[in-house]
Structure 1
Amino acid sequence: MFNKILVVCVGNICRSPVGEYLLKKQLPNKHIASAGIASKKSKLEGKPADNSMIELASENGLDISMHQSQQLTREMCNEYDLILVMEKGHIDAVTSINPAVRGKTMLLGQWIGQKEIPDPYKMSKEAFEHAYSLIDQSTREWAKKL
Protein backbone atom coordinates (compact mmCIF):
# COMPACT_ATOMS: atom_id res chain seq x y z
CA MET A 1 0.00 0.00 0.00
CA PHE A 2 2.66 2.53 1.05
CA ASN A 3 5.63 1.50 -1.08
CA LYS A 4 7.06 4.97 -1.73
CA ILE A 5 7.68 7.09 1.37
CA LEU A 6 9.03 10.64 1.47
CA VAL A 7 10.43 12.15 4.69
CA VAL A 8 10.33 15.95 4.81
CA CYS A 9 11.80 18.71 6.99
CA VAL A 10 12.87 22.29 6.25
CA GLY A 11 16.40 22.12 4.83
CA ASN A 12 16.79 18.36 4.31
CA ILE A 13 20.13 18.30 6.14
CA CYS A 14 19.31 17.25 9.73
CA ARG A 15 16.03 15.51 10.51
CA SER A 16 14.69 14.14 7.24
CA PRO A 17 17.95 12.45 6.15
CA VAL A 18 18.01 10.52 9.44
CA GLY A 19 14.35 9.60 9.02
CA GLU A 20 15.02 8.47 5.46
CA TYR A 21 18.03 6.31 6.29
CA LEU A 22 16.45 4.77 9.42
CA LEU A 23 13.34 3.83 7.45
CA LYS A 24 15.48 2.40 4.64
CA LYS A 25 17.24 0.23 7.22
CA GLN A 26 13.95 -0.93 8.77
CA LEU A 27 11.95 -1.26 5.53
CA PRO A 28 14.46 -2.43 2.90
CA ASN A 29 11.75 -3.38 0.39
CA LYS A 30 10.26 0.12 0.24
CA HIS A 31 11.41 3.13 -1.81
CA ILE A 32 12.25 5.88 0.68
CA ALA A 33 13.66 9.35 0.07
CA SER A 34 13.73 12.76 1.75
CA ALA A 35 13.40 16.40 0.78
CA GLY A 36 13.22 19.88 2.26
CA ILE A 37 10.42 22.40 2.16
CA ALA A 38 12.95 25.24 1.90
CA SER A 39 16.17 23.61 0.67
CA LYS A 40 16.40 25.94 -2.31
CA LYS A 41 15.42 29.10 -0.38
CA SER A 42 17.98 28.25 2.33
CA LYS A 43 20.66 27.63 -0.32
CA LEU A 44 21.09 24.06 0.96
CA GLU A 45 20.12 22.21 -2.22
CA GLY A 46 22.82 19.67 -3.09
CA LYS A 47 24.54 20.08 0.28
CA PRO A 48 25.44 17.11 2.50
CA ALA A 49 23.75 16.39 5.81
CA ASP A 50 24.81 18.58 8.74
CA ASN A 51 28.15 17.42 10.23
CA SER A 52 26.69 17.12 13.73
CA MET A 53 23.95 14.82 12.43
CA ILE A 54 26.41 12.78 10.33
CA GLU A 55 28.53 12.20 13.45
CA LEU A 56 25.56 11.36 15.66
CA ALA A 57 24.10 8.98 13.06
CA SER A 58 27.51 7.31 12.72
CA GLU A 59 27.69 6.83 16.50
CA ASN A 60 24.37 5.01 16.16
CA GLY A 61 25.54 2.79 13.29
CA LEU A 62 23.89 4.81 10.52
CA ASP A 63 25.84 6.23 7.58
CA ILE A 64 24.17 9.33 6.12
CA SER A 65 27.40 10.81 4.75
CA MET A 66 26.34 10.36 1.11
CA HIS A 67 23.10 12.33 1.54
CA GLN A 68 22.49 15.42 -0.59
CA SER A 69 19.72 17.89 0.18
CA GLN A 70 16.93 18.29 -2.36
CA GLN A 71 14.03 20.70 -2.67
CA LEU A 72 10.52 19.29 -2.28
CA THR A 73 8.54 19.77 -5.50
CA ARG A 74 4.92 19.42 -6.53
CA GLU A 75 5.88 16.47 -8.75
CA MET A 76 7.75 14.76 -5.94
CA CYS A 77 4.67 15.04 -3.71
CA ASN A 78 2.62 13.25 -6.39
CA GLU A 79 5.21 10.50 -6.78
CA TYR A 80 5.06 9.25 -3.15
CA ASP A 81 2.34 7.25 -1.37
CA LEU A 82 3.09 8.69 2.08
CA ILE A 83 4.75 11.96 3.11
CA LEU A 84 6.07 12.13 6.68
CA VAL A 85 6.85 15.55 8.17
CA MET A 86 8.51 16.69 11.40
CA GLU A 87 6.14 19.42 12.58
CA LYS A 88 2.43 20.20 12.22
CA GLY A 89 3.30 23.40 10.35
CA HIS A 90 5.09 21.30 7.74
CA ILE A 91 1.76 19.71 6.79
CA ASP A 92 0.55 23.17 5.74
CA ALA A 93 3.84 23.88 3.94
CA VAL A 94 3.62 20.63 1.96
CA THR A 95 -0.04 21.32 1.20
CA SER A 96 0.85 24.80 -0.10
CA ILE A 97 3.30 23.17 -2.53
CA ASN A 98 0.70 20.59 -3.60
CA PRO A 99 -2.82 20.79 -2.09
CA ALA A 100 -3.77 17.38 -3.51
CA VAL A 101 -1.43 15.53 -1.11
CA ARG A 102 -2.96 16.67 2.19
CA GLY A 103 -4.56 13.25 2.78
CA LYS A 104 -1.26 11.39 2.54
CA THR A 105 0.83 13.81 4.61
CA MET A 106 1.32 12.88 8.27
CA LEU A 107 3.62 13.55 11.21
CA LEU A 108 6.64 11.28 11.50
CA GLY A 109 5.83 11.33 15.24
CA GLN A 110 2.24 10.16 14.60
CA TRP A 111 2.63 6.90 16.55
CA ILE A 112 4.58 8.35 19.49
CA GLY A 113 1.79 10.63 20.68
CA GLN A 114 1.77 12.86 17.57
CA LYS A 115 4.99 14.45 18.77
CA GLU A 116 6.67 17.11 16.72
CA ILE A 117 10.40 16.72 16.17
CA PRO A 118 12.20 20.00 16.84
CA ASP A 119 14.86 21.26 14.44
CA PRO A 120 18.34 20.91 16.01
CA TYR A 121 20.08 22.97 13.29
CA LYS A 122 22.86 25.16 14.76
CA MET A 123 21.96 23.99 18.28
CA SER A 124 23.68 21.91 20.96
CA LYS A 125 24.69 18.26 20.72
CA GLU A 126 21.84 17.57 23.16
CA ALA A 127 19.34 19.10 20.72
CA PHE A 128 20.64 16.79 17.99
CA GLU A 129 20.48 13.79 20.33
CA HIS A 130 16.90 14.64 21.32
CA ALA A 131 15.80 14.99 17.68
CA TYR A 132 17.62 11.78 16.71
CA SER A 133 15.96 9.86 19.56
CA LEU A 134 12.48 11.04 18.53
CA ILE A 135 13.16 10.19 14.87
CA ASP A 136 14.45 6.75 15.86
CA GLN A 137 11.35 6.04 18.00
CA SER A 138 9.05 7.36 15.26
CA THR A 139 10.59 5.34 12.44
CA ARG A 140 10.41 2.15 14.53
CA GLU A 141 6.70 2.71 15.08
CA TRP A 142 6.08 3.50 11.41
CA ALA A 143 8.00 0.34 10.42
CA LYS A 144 5.62 -1.72 12.59
CA LYS A 145 2.58 -0.13 10.92
CA LEU A 146 3.90 -0.45 7.37
Structure 2
Amino acid sequence: MSVDLEREPKKTVFRRILIVCRGNICRSPTAQYLFQRRTNMRGLEVSSAGLNAVVGSPMDATAMQLLSEKDGVDGSTHRAHQLVTSMLLGADLVICMEKNHIDEMTEFAPEARGKIHLLGKWTDGRDIPDPYRRRRPVFERTHEMIVRGVESWMRYL
Protein backbone atom coordinates (compact mmCIF):
# COMPACT_ATOMS: atom_id res chain seq x y z
CA MET A 1 0.00 0.00 0.00
CA SER A 2 1.52 3.31 -1.03
CA VAL A 3 1.21 6.52 0.95
CA ASP A 4 0.20 9.71 -0.81
CA LEU A 5 2.64 12.18 0.71
CA GLU A 6 0.76 15.15 -0.71
CA ARG A 7 -2.31 14.17 1.33
CA GLU A 8 -0.46 13.33 4.53
CA PRO A 9 -0.66 16.09 7.14
CA LYS A 10 2.57 18.03 7.46
CA LYS A 11 4.36 17.17 10.68
CA THR A 12 6.66 19.59 12.40
CA VAL A 13 8.83 19.62 15.48
CA PHE A 14 7.90 23.27 16.03
CA ARG A 15 4.69 23.69 18.02
CA ARG A 16 5.56 26.82 20.04
CA ILE A 17 7.20 29.65 18.12
CA LEU A 18 8.41 32.80 19.83
CA ILE A 19 9.20 35.95 17.85
CA VAL A 20 11.54 38.47 19.50
CA CYS A 21 12.58 42.06 18.81
CA ARG A 22 13.57 45.01 20.98
CA GLY A 23 10.33 46.63 22.17
CA ASN A 24 7.63 44.18 21.01
CA ILE A 25 5.59 46.93 19.41
CA CYS A 26 6.75 46.98 15.75
CA ARG A 27 8.66 44.06 14.25
CA SER A 28 7.91 41.04 16.43
CA PRO A 29 4.14 41.60 16.63
CA THR A 30 4.03 42.12 12.86
CA ALA A 31 5.84 38.82 12.33
CA GLN A 32 3.70 37.11 14.99
CA TYR A 33 0.44 38.07 13.29
CA LEU A 34 1.77 37.10 9.85
CA PHE A 35 2.93 33.70 11.13
CA GLN A 36 -0.40 33.16 12.88
CA ARG A 37 -2.29 33.97 9.72
CA ARG A 38 -0.17 31.63 7.61
CA THR A 39 -0.21 28.74 10.10
CA ASN A 40 -3.65 29.07 11.70
CA MET A 41 -4.84 25.61 10.63
CA ARG A 42 -1.68 23.82 11.78
CA GLY A 43 -2.15 24.11 15.53
CA LEU A 44 0.98 26.14 16.11
CA GLU A 45 1.24 28.57 19.00
CA VAL A 46 2.94 31.80 17.92
CA SER A 47 3.75 34.52 20.43
CA SER A 48 6.09 37.50 20.65
CA ALA A 49 8.11 39.39 23.22
CA GLY A 50 10.69 42.14 23.49
CA LEU A 51 14.16 42.24 24.99
CA ASN A 52 13.30 45.69 26.36
CA ALA A 53 9.56 45.61 25.89
CA VAL A 54 7.32 48.59 26.30
CA VAL A 55 5.20 46.31 28.50
CA GLY A 56 1.46 46.58 27.97
CA SER A 57 1.77 48.97 25.03
CA PRO A 58 -0.21 48.39 21.83
CA MET A 59 1.46 47.96 18.46
CA ASP A 60 3.02 51.05 16.98
CA ALA A 61 0.31 52.83 14.96
CA THR A 62 2.26 52.77 11.68
CA ALA A 63 3.18 49.09 12.02
CA MET A 64 -0.45 48.24 12.79
CA GLN A 65 -1.70 50.33 9.86
CA LEU A 66 0.65 48.56 7.41
CA LEU A 67 -0.35 45.15 8.77
CA SER A 68 -3.99 46.04 8.13
CA GLU A 69 -3.48 47.69 4.73
CA LYS A 70 -1.09 45.19 3.20
CA ASP A 71 -2.15 41.95 4.87
CA GLY A 72 -5.71 42.49 6.07
CA VAL A 73 -4.65 41.63 9.62
CA ASP A 74 -5.94 43.41 12.73
CA GLY A 75 -3.21 43.89 15.32
CA SER A 76 -5.27 46.02 17.68
CA THR A 77 -5.39 43.41 20.45
CA HIS A 78 -1.60 43.19 20.75
CA ARG A 79 0.03 44.24 24.02
CA ALA A 80 3.79 44.16 24.47
CA HIS A 81 5.39 41.44 26.61
CA GLN A 82 8.82 41.38 28.21
CA LEU A 83 10.96 38.41 27.24
CA VAL A 84 11.74 36.15 30.19
CA THR A 85 13.90 33.03 30.31
CA SER A 86 10.91 30.69 30.68
CA MET A 87 9.59 31.93 27.31
CA LEU A 88 12.87 31.00 25.63
CA LEU A 89 13.00 27.61 27.29
CA GLY A 90 9.35 26.86 26.54
CA ALA A 91 9.59 27.68 22.83
CA ASP A 92 10.51 25.11 20.20
CA LEU A 93 11.76 27.83 17.86
CA VAL A 94 12.79 31.41 18.60
CA ILE A 95 12.97 33.83 15.70
CA CYS A 96 14.50 37.27 16.15
CA MET A 97 15.25 40.33 14.05
CA GLU A 98 18.94 41.09 14.66
CA LYS A 99 22.14 39.18 15.26
CA ASN A 100 22.70 41.08 18.51
CA HIS A 101 19.33 39.76 19.73
CA ILE A 102 20.73 36.24 19.42
CA ASP A 103 23.73 37.27 21.50
CA GLU A 104 21.57 38.87 24.20
CA MET A 105 19.22 35.90 24.48
CA THR A 106 22.12 33.44 24.55
CA GLU A 107 23.70 35.42 27.36
CA PHE A 108 20.82 34.84 29.76
CA ALA A 109 19.69 31.45 28.42
CA PRO A 110 22.70 29.71 26.82
CA GLU A 111 20.81 26.41 26.68
CA ALA A 112 18.36 27.98 24.18
CA ARG A 113 21.06 28.88 21.62
CA GLY A 114 20.32 26.03 19.24
CA LYS A 115 16.74 27.11 18.69
CA ILE A 116 17.33 30.85 18.19
CA HIS A 117 17.48 32.04 14.57
CA LEU A 118 17.17 35.21 12.52
CA LEU A 119 13.92 35.86 10.68
CA GLY A 120 16.08 36.47 7.61
CA LYS A 121 17.97 33.16 7.95
CA TRP A 122 16.52 31.71 4.74
CA THR A 123 16.67 34.95 2.73
CA ASP A 124 19.79 37.08 2.94
CA GLY A 125 20.63 36.55 6.62
CA ARG A 126 20.56 40.27 7.26
CA ASP A 127 19.18 42.07 10.28
CA ILE A 128 15.72 43.58 10.01
CA PRO A 129 16.15 47.19 11.13
CA ASP A 130 14.00 48.70 13.85
CA PRO A 131 11.62 51.29 12.36
CA TYR A 132 10.55 52.68 15.74
CA ARG A 133 10.13 56.48 15.66
CA ARG A 134 11.05 56.59 11.97
CA ARG A 135 9.02 57.73 8.97
CA ARG A 136 6.51 55.54 7.16
CA PRO A 137 8.88 54.58 4.29
CA VAL A 138 11.20 52.94 6.84
CA PHE A 139 8.22 51.03 8.27
CA GLU A 140 7.23 49.97 4.74
CA ARG A 141 10.69 48.61 4.00
CA THR A 142 10.82 46.81 7.34
CA HIS A 143 7.34 45.36 6.73
CA GLU A 144 8.47 44.01 3.33
CA MET A 145 11.50 42.39 4.93
CA ILE A 146 9.32 40.78 7.61
CA VAL A 147 6.88 39.44 5.01
CA ARG A 148 9.78 37.92 3.03
CA GLY A 149 11.24 36.45 6.22
CA VAL A 150 7.94 34.88 7.28
CA GLU A 151 7.42 33.44 3.79
CA SER A 152 10.92 31.95 3.83
CA TRP A 153 10.21 30.07 7.07
CA MET A 154 6.94 28.50 5.92
CA ARG A 155 8.55 25.46 4.26
CA TYR A 156 10.12 24.54 7.63
CA LEU A 157 6.97 24.83 9.74
TM-score by length of 2: 0.88
Distance 1:70 1:115 in 2: 25
Alignment map for 1:105-120 (pairs within 5 Å) = 105-120=116-131
Distance 1:57 1:48 in 2: 13
State which of 28, 48, 56 in structure 1 corresponds to 2:66.
56
State which of 9, 14, 33 in structure 2 corresponds to 1:2.
14
> How far apart are residue 62 of structure 1 and its match?
1.4
Q: Is 2:29 aligned against 1:17?
A: yes
C-alpha offsets along residues 15-61 of structure 1, whole Å, 9 cap, x if unaligned?
A: 0000000000111121000000011xxxx101100011111111111
Distance 2:60 2:91 in 1: 25
Distance 2:77 2:100 in 1: 28
State which of 31, 36, 47 in structure 1 corresponds to 2:57.
47
Q: Is 2:81 aligned against 1:74?
A: no
State which of 18, 29, 36 in structure 1 corresponds to 2:50.
36
Percent identical: 40
TM-score by length of 1: 0.95
State which of 92, 99, 111 in structure 2 corresponds to 1:88.
99
Distance 1:145 1:33 in 2: 17
Aligned partner of 1:18: which letter?
A: T
Aligned partner of 1:22: which letter?
A: L
Aligned partner of 2:74: which letter?
A: D
Matched residue SS, 1:62: coil
Kindly indicate whether the alpha-carbon contact (under 8 Å) linking 1:7 and 1:85 is maintained by their aligned counterparts in 2. Answer: yes
Give structure 1 stretches of 5+ with no counterpart: none
Matched residue SS, 1:33: strand
Distance 2:135 2:26 in 1: 13
Distance 2:66 2:120 in 1: 20
Across the two proteins, how many residue pairs are aligned to each other? 142
Aligned partner of 1:88: which letter?
A: K
